[in-house]
Amino acid sequence: CVHLNRNTFKTWVCPSLSYLWPTVGYSDQWDDLNKRFSPPLTAKDVTYICPYIGALRGTLTVTNYRLFFKCTDREPVFVLDLPLGVVSRVEKIGGASSRGEVSYGLVCKDIRNLRFAHKQMEDSLRKSIFEVLMKFAFPVSNGLPIFAFEYGQVYPENGWKVYDAQAEYKRQGLPNESWRITKVNDHYELCDTYPSTLVVPVNISDEELKRVAAFRAKGRIPVLSWIHPESQATVTRCSQPMVGVNGKRSKDDEKYLQAIMDANAQSHKLFIFDARPSVNAAANKMKGGGYESEDAYQNAELVFLDIHNIHVMRESLRKLKEVVYPNIEESHWLSNLESTHWLEHIKLILAGALRIADKVESGKTSVVVHCSDGWDRTAQLTSLAMLMLDGHYRTIRGFQVLLEKEWLSFGHRFQLRIGHGDKNHTDADRSPVFLQFIDCVWQMTRQFPAAFEFNEYFLVTTLDHLYSCLFGTFLCNSEQQRVKEVRAKTVSLWAYINSQLEEFTNPLYVNYSNHVLFPVVSMRHLELWVGYYIRWNPRMRPQEPVHQRYKELLAKRAELQKRVEELQREVTNRSASSERAGSPTRSITPVQTFV
Amino acid sequence: MLSSLGSGGGKTAKPSFVSYVTPEEIKSEKEPYKKENQPDLLPGEVVFCSACPVLKYSQDDMSQRGVFGTLLCTNFRVSFVSDEVQVEETCKLFKNKLYGENDIPLACVDNIYGGYEDKKKLITGGLLKNKYPSKIIVHCKDLRVFQFSLTYSKEEDAKKLCFTGVLDHNNVVMKTYLRSSSIDNNAVCFVEMQRKERTMLFDCLEDWTQDMKRTKGNCRLVTENSSFELSQKLPQFFIVPLNVTDEDLVKFQGNGLPMWCWSHHSGCALFKTASLPLMLTAVAHNHLYSVKTEDLSDTLPTIQDIQLSYNKFKQFFLIDNTTEFWMSDMKWFSSLENCGWLDMIRQCLLKAVEVVECLEKENTNVLIMEESGSDLCCVISSLVQLMLDPHYRTLLGFQSLVQKEWVAGGHAFLDRSNQLHLKEKVESQSPVFLLFLECVWQLHQQHGPAFQFSETYLTVLSDSVHVPVFATFLFNNDSHRANVLRAESPSSQRGPLNCPSVWDWSVQFDCRAQDLFTNPLYAQKTKQDRSQRKSHRPKHQRQLSLPSSAFKTPTKKGFFKDEADSLKKILGVKRISRWMLSPSSDFPPMSSIKEFYETWQAKPLDYHGMLLPCLDGPSIRVWMQRYLRWIHDVQILGGGPVAVLSKVSELLAEVQELRSELDRHARTVTSNHRGAIRTRAKTAPENLARSSVRLSSSFPFVTSRNWSFKPAIPTSMLQSLMMSEVAGDLASREDDGSEPETVV
């Protein structure tokens, strides 16, 4: 790993950082850094205006990775520690106040805003710490590298090896007599936003694939995401067909979809799920896009799933933030929540995935899923449907594979949607598409508390590092962009997670992998994810009494087991010393279900 | 331990009902019924009328398929007996012995609607005169919905059924039944009462003495009302402040007497009173601590408000068909808010927290009052005790609490539930007890491990209110109970009437079903905990052992001079009661409550210490098990809380197994038995885990076995929505803005 630009690296070690900085060999590293680099930028007498506690006076430190505020006046010591990656914008609020203070507001991507104030600099040439912060918070806009490229932590596992496309397809039983793995996109020539490894119907040649690519937006042809181990019904994903106002047709595309249908002997039908509302799908014709007409595609049934676009979702999250941060208006909480439509969107996405899973599982029918480009709503739908259908994706490593496959390799544009290190916070390409997906996963874990190997903390951690820029996992927009630099020079989030799996494991997990999970997509069962959206409110501290209690019981069991074994050994020794007689008797004791 | 409840007394209590139906009535019933088309009648239960064939729509099916059978009305229930042979194995686990899944106890009938062509009308006596409906829809108080089609049955039968049976339940039938219902006294109903650990019924002196002793209260036990000489409204026994004199008792006839509820370990106590606090000074005198008074009617909803709100709330769950359900799903949150039910729960919990703060933080006596003294006073006083006293979070403790505050406390169960469907009593109908159970459920879901009983227990308890068999819920107060039970006895050749207590759960459920009443997550206090607690609270121990006179001159709150006249005291009381809605109070109470909660929250949680609920918006939830259990479309198949509970039960069984094994080993080692080594007996514990994938979120009330494993897909996905306002143009925009954005 290359250590670049470390001159502003912080020099203190704070115990609270262990969350982001695992203790494995880190103290040595810090000592080393202390000697080599100059101290970080620190400002004293800064006031943090906490919406819950009030004004706190303390020391503010800014490094190239984080903002760190510490107030030692109170008991316990107040610490605020946030990666600069979560900062969406920094703004100066008003002018200098009567007390000669300037105030700064930090709008964060993780549903909070921070407000600081400090004395006006007497020397007008000296810059405020916040102006310096702007530089490191938005490295991309300032020509600096993203911190992930400088992060030098070594983990026992190489997280980049978690996902191997060939291995994953092999797990699914591919290639088989109907599906083949093609090398046509090895150098991202067919489609630069697709992965290099693609699974396509056996009887479609690479040449034909190229002609299909011409008819699909951005060349994103239908390819296999998942195949049902028994019925051979498949989930395939793609982008919209380039139908246009004149209703253009492509014989190759029609043949291709027929081939997908034929690959599944169980059904003589194919369902095409268009994630968009039909109005939007129709409007796309004006721009050359559109949807499959049922005349052109025999035996195919088109279903619109009514999921709105990235702009609607962004606006919904903005409203949600207003409702939950910093305080909740108790008397109108529910109607306020409803007015954000956030859960309504979650419901539509889950309902869409449910319909897909139902068609594949109950109807044994293959499905094709697309939206406009096939990298936002499509990713949400295929990955959620796969989570419902395949228990493997509900394990920790399986879930990592699911993200690597459906989101990262298939080109969900993380860089654009999150805007890593980019100061342009009004960018219309930003949207909480991935957050929505994780929210949907959380909703499923609520409904099936024993079906997922990972816990809530795993999901929150994943989202935290979506923004933190500590790991390379969520950088860039496509596999092609990532494969060059990122893999070589950054650490994967999975390296960090998999090196301390205990933290992220759901103690209640029951491996019933063969079971299909159909969540209930009624508002009655959907709830706002308090542990994520309202976690900054100290009154809403997440509680997992069940997990806690369960872990206690596990510990108790382990302790008792140990004692039983010890006693057994003792008894064995004694009886061995005396004469041997009798055979072990079995007895069945009445078991009470409570202690 | 719960098992003692069910397993008690080998022979299960078989209820027997004595009929006092007049001969004429019986004669009219003498029409021959086909034996096979009758439910298993309870002793004393009489069939009034029936109609056949009746088509019962199966609720879980959109396609309106149904089952043919006979619809009967008895003096206990409306019952549907299917023509199809019932598969016996369908989940016997949670079968109620008194009524089956197709039975509706008459008191459980909430409303009956008639289906006329495609209209649905609430059936009243007048409406039926002209034509009888082709279909009837029965909404039950336990939120079940039944739909019966009468089109196939004989018009005469159907008419009769509608008139005499289903409709007239609101007067004649119910009355007859209720007056005649009796459980055979010879059965071993109260065997469990002999045991050491039992539910205290607070119908005898000992229970009151014991409870006061347990909480180290120092008050006066009043026995003068044991035959209701003082007042019909007062309980047989009750406790008042020490210095309430005999003259006071006579003078006020029980009005405004501060009744002791519970004593805090600091010595201060909670009292409740009906009507004006005439005896305020008595409480003030009690320990010479200050007393805070709170008139609950100032801030809490009236019983009419509660009834109105619940009526709106329950409609969300009385679903006739799937389309209606998914339509209502779209405006779910705002409808929920508009009905105000959750807010009432929040208000009650908040009030209780305020009282807790006074007792716990300020160590002042608290007197809560309202006109009746037996509605919201019961809610608040029992919530306070649940929050402060871990004893009441055990199963028997909770039952004792309900007995103390609600049954002995004179909550008018009969009037509030209006089981007789009396017109003149409609105004006094109000689900106050349910509101209390809702509050308990909120505490339970926030701090599960603190409670020995389960969510299922609370749900069953809320249902049992509408089973008109239990003495617990049939009367308005002690004297009413005594009068009715005594009055009935002479006319009967049997002994005195003895309705069972609802706490005798074996009347309704067998032992295995009762196992579901315990919470496997309950963090039972270990011996270690107990000793730790002792060392933690040496101060309290010492204080408590002192006679109360020792702190009659409190040091820090000594602003009450001994010789202060009572007028001054009353004024003083008013001054410090910061809830009196006086806008001039120095600090807003909410901020104090917030601080109180946050201080408590900052400390490590002790399940055997004080419990406070979080009252912020998202923390107050809908009691899913109670309200959603019958709605097919929201059953989470293979999920729901049972998935966790079964896992925990399984682990607990293993721990238990290891413990007993350890004991065996210990015995073996000490007694040095030869060859008595046992290999670890891997007895698979009776658990739910094996089948938990097949269970659903409505466990144990509905089994998913009959249901197809198909997801419920919303039928109306049409966006009511949305995007009308700001988002209007956003919705039509392209995902990837091709037009360059202006950089800000």
Average pLDDT score over residue span B557-576: 34
- Taking the C-alpha atoms of residue A528 and residue A414, their distance in angstroms, rounded to an integer, is 24
Examine the pLDDT at B167 and tell me if it is beyond 70: no
Amino acid B223: pLDDT: 87
Residues A320, A534: Cα–Cα separation, whole Å: 10
Q: Measure the CA–CA gap between A308 and A313, rounded to whole angstroms.
A: 7
**Per-residue pLDDT for B552 more than 70?**
no
Q: Token digits for A397?
A: 């490593």
The predicted pLDDT at position B447 comes to 92
Q: How far is A119 from chain B (nearest CA, A)?
A: 28
The predicted pLDDT at position A90 comes to 92
Cβ separation A549–B449 shorter than 8 A: yes
pLDDT at A403: 98
Say how far apart CA B198 and CA B191 lie, in whole Å. 10
Inter-chain residue contact A545 with B732, CB threshold 8 Å: no
Contact A217, A371 (CB under 8 A): no
Taking only the tens place, the pLDDT of each residue in B522-541 is 988 765 555 444 444 433 33
pLDDT for A205:
96
Q: Which residue has the higher pLDDT, B553 or B221?
A: B221
Question: Is the Cβ of A558 closer than 8 Å to some Cβ of chain B?
Answer: no
> pLDDT grade, residue B29 (50/70/90)?
very low
A355 part of contact set with chain B, CB < 8 Å = yes
- Choose, out of B456, B736, B738, B742, the residue to mutate when testing the contact with A (most A CBs < 10 Å): B736
Q: Give the pair of three-digit tokens for residue B309.
A: 């709100």
The mean of the pLDDT values for chain B is 73
Q: What is the pLDDT of residue B550?
A: 33
Among chain B residues, CA nearest to A433: B735
B669 touches chain A (CB under 8 A): yes
Residues 142-201 of B with CB under 8 A from A: none
Over 80: is that where the pLDDT of B564 sits?
A: no
The CA distance from A374 to A357, in Å, is 18
Catalytic residue among A108, A191, A371, A469: A371
**Statement: residue B600 has pLDDT above 70:** yes
Distance from CA of B95 to the nearest CA of A (A): 20
Asked if residue B496 has pLDDT above 70, the reply is no
Interchain contact A348–B (C-beta under 8 A): yes
The residue whose two tokens read 């004429």 is: B24
How far apart are the CA of A214 and the nearest CA of chain B, in angstroms?
19
Using a CB-CB distance cutoff of 8 angstroms, which residues of chain B are in contact with residue A517? 638-639
Give the lowest-confidence range in A96-105, A571-580, B543-552, B663-672.
Answer: B543-552
Nearest C-alpha of chain B: how many angstroms from A335?
5
B639 to A448: CB separation less than 8 angstroms, yes or no? yes
Task: Enumerate the known binding-site residues of A.
Answer: 284-287, 309-310, 371-377
Query: Which residues from B are below 8 Å from A315, CB to CB?
Result: 726-727, 730
A545 → closest Cβ in B449, B515, B666: B449
A303 touching B (Cβ < 8 Å): no
Question: Nearest by CB to B675, which of A512, A554, A575?
Answer: A575
A199 forms beta bridges with A181
Q: How far apart are CA B159 and CA B162, in angstroms?
A: 5
Q: How distant is the Cα of B369 from the closest Cα of chain A, in angstroms?
A: 26
Instruction: Tell which of B143, B343, B664, B677 to mutate to test the A interface (max A CBs under 10 Å).
Output: B677
Helix (H) or strand (E) holding B147: strand B145-149
Using a 10 angstrom Cβ sphere, with 0-12 exposed, 13-18 middle and 19 or more buried, the burial of residue B14 is middle
Q: Is there a contact between B737 and A519 if contact means CB atoms under 8 Å apart?
A: no
Over residues B323-347, the pLDDT tens digits come to 888 888 889 999 999 999 999 999 9
What whole-number distance in Å separates Cα of residue B51 and Cα of residue B71?
5
The stretches in chain A having pLDDT less than 50 are: 1-38, 579-595
A519 in B contact zone (CB under 8 Å): yes
Residues in chain A: 595
Name the phi and psi angles at B82, rounded to 5.
-75, 145
Minimal Cα distance from A413: which residue of B? Answer: B736
Q: Is B72 a residue whose pLDDT tops 90?
A: no
Report the complex ipTM: 0.87
CA gap B374, A585 in Å, rounded: 60
How do residues A54-96 score in pLDDT, each as one tens digit? 999 999 999 889 999 999 888 889 999 999 999 999 988 876 5
Q: Which residues of A are annotated as a binding site for substrate?
A: 284-287, 309-310, 371-377
Quick one: pLDDT at residue A69?
95
Under 8 Å CB pairs connecting chains A and B tally to 311
Distance from CA of A61 to the nearest CA of B (A): 27
Best mutation target among B660, B730, B742 (most A Cβ atoms within 10 Å) is B730
The confidence score (pLDDT) of residue B12 equals: 36
B85 CB within 8 Å of a chain A CB: no
pTM of the model: 0.86
Touching B: A residues 392-451, CB under 8 Å: 424-429, 447-451
Phi, psi (deg, nearest 5) at residue A199 = -115, 125
User: Is the pLDDT assigned to residue B291 strictly greater than 90?
Assistant: no
Residues 588-617 of B with CB under 8 A from A: 594, 597-598, 601, 605, 614-617
Query: Would you place residue B24 in the very low, low, confident or very high pLDDT band (cuts 50, 70, 90)?
Result: very low
Alpha carbon distance B459, B466 (integer Å): 12
How high is the pLDDT of residue A130?
83
Q: According to the model, what pLDDT value does residue A25 have?
A: 30
Which residue in the set B448, B648, B736 is minimally distant from A373, CB to CB?
Answer: B736
Neighbour tally for A162: CB within 10 Å: 21
Chain A CB contacts of B622 under 8 Å are 524
pLDDT in the model for residue B112: 84
Q: Give SS3 for B270.
A: strand
pLDDT of residue B335: 94
Q: Does B665 sit within 8 Å of A568, measured CB to CB? A: yes
Confidence at residue B282, expressed as pLDDT on a 0 to 100 scale: 59
Partner-chain contact A447 B639, CB within 8 Å: yes
Which of A515, A519, A575 faces B677 most closely, judged by CB atoms? Answer: A575
- Quickly state the pLDDT bin for B286 (edges 50, 70, 90): low
Please, which residues have CB within 8 angstroms of residue B259's CB and are 6 or more apart in sequence? B238, B239, B240, B271, B272, B273, B373, B409
The torsion of the CA quartet A293, A298, A300, A305, rounded to 10 degrees, works out to 10
Is A476 an active-site residue? no
For residue B107, give the 3-state DSSP assignment: helix
> What mean pLDDT is predicted for residues B473-495?
70
**Residue with the larger pLDDT of the pair A356 and B171:** A356
For residue A274, report the phi and psi dihedrals to the nearest 5 degrees. Answer: -95, 115
- Return d(Cα A513, Cα A510) in angstroms, integer: 8
Q: What tens digit of pLDDT does each residue of B416-444 get?
A: 988 777 777 788 899 999 999 999 999 99
**Helices in A325-370 by DSSP H: which ranges?**
333-340, 342-361
Interchain pair A524, B624: CB under 8 A: yes
